[in-house]
Amino acid sequence: MKKKSRIRSIGTTLFQLSILLLVCIACERNYEEEFEPQLNIFGVLANILQTQEIIVDRTYPIDEPSGPVIDDALVVLSGNGFIDTLEFSYSSQKYLTEPLNVAPLTTYELIVEKDGFDTAHATTTVPGNFTIFFPLFNDTLTFQDTILFARSTAAALYSFVFVHYTGGFGPFFWYEPDPFDSLIQIPVGDYLDEPCTGLFTIYIVAYDSNFYEYYYPEDDSIAQAGVTGGVGLLGSTWTEATSVYVLFE
C-alpha cells in the first residue's frame, strides 16, 4: 500500500508540473502573439519656445532592449492655421518644427505615420494665458508672502521655477490647483523653507490635463495621454514670468 501511495504521489506531482509547464508555454506564446509594437510619442508644446520638439520611438517587449529612436516617420503638426511637416534633427534626435508661436486655448493636432505601425494621432489644448498679481517686477518676495495670479483656463497643474540672474537654478515646486479657484493664492512658506537670496526670474508654468494624466497615473499600464493609435504624451504649457528680489531667510 505504501508503494502504491508513493507512486500516486509522484504521479500527482509530475502531473502538476506538466500542467504548470504547459501554462507557462501558453502564456509565453500568448504574450509573443499578442504583443504588437506601437509608436511611442513624446512632446510638450510651450509658448516660451519658438521651435517645438517631438520624439518618436516605438514600444518593445519587456525582455527586449530599446533601440534608437525612429528617424524616418512622417510627422505633421497643425493648429490655429499652422501646418508643418517636421524635420528630424540628428543632433538632437528629435523632430523639430518651423518657428511656431503657440497660442493659448488653441488645440493642436499631431499625426505620426511610419510603415509597419498604426498611424498615431494626438491632440492637446494649450492652457490659457494668465496675469500675475504678486510678485510684480522688482518686488521683494519673502517666506511670509503669498503668490497671487489668475487661474489659467484648462490648466491642471503648475510648476514654479526660480532662475537666478546668472543663469543658475534656484527653488522649485509643484502646485495642484483647486478646480473651483479662479484666483490662485500660494503661501510661499508652505512650499519653500530653504534660505535663498538674490535676483531671480520666477517662471510660473501652467500644464494641460494631458501632462497631468501622463505623470500622475492611477495604474501601472503604459502611459497614454492625448494619443490614440499609439502611446505616449502630447501635452502643452503656458508660461508667465516675473523678476523679483528673493529674500528667503
Distance CA 240, CA 85 (A): 29
Residue 131 neighbours by CB under 8 Å, 6+ apart: 149, 150, 240
Per-run averaged pLDDT (10 residues), the chain, 249 residues: 45 47 45 76 97 96 86 97 97 97 97 97 98 98 98 97 96 94 96 96 98 81 87 97 97
- Say if residue 118 is in the same domain as residue 141: no
> What's the Rg (C-alpha) of the chain?
26
**Residue 226 counted as domain residue:** no
**Alpha-carbon separation of residue 22 from 14, 17, 18, 34 (angstroms):** 12, 9, 6, 18
Out of 64, 99, 125, a domain closes at 125
Residues 63 and 30 reside in one and the same domain: no
Instruction: Give the chain's domain count.
Output: 3
Do 117 and 172 belong together in one domain?
Answer: no
pTM: 0.83
Q: Which of 138, 118, 117 is nearest to 202 (CA)?
A: 138
- Same structural domain, 138 and 79: no
CB 32 within 8 A of CB 224: no
For residue 53, what are the domain limits? 39-125
CATH number at residue 182: 2.60.40.1220
Amino acid at residue number 86: L
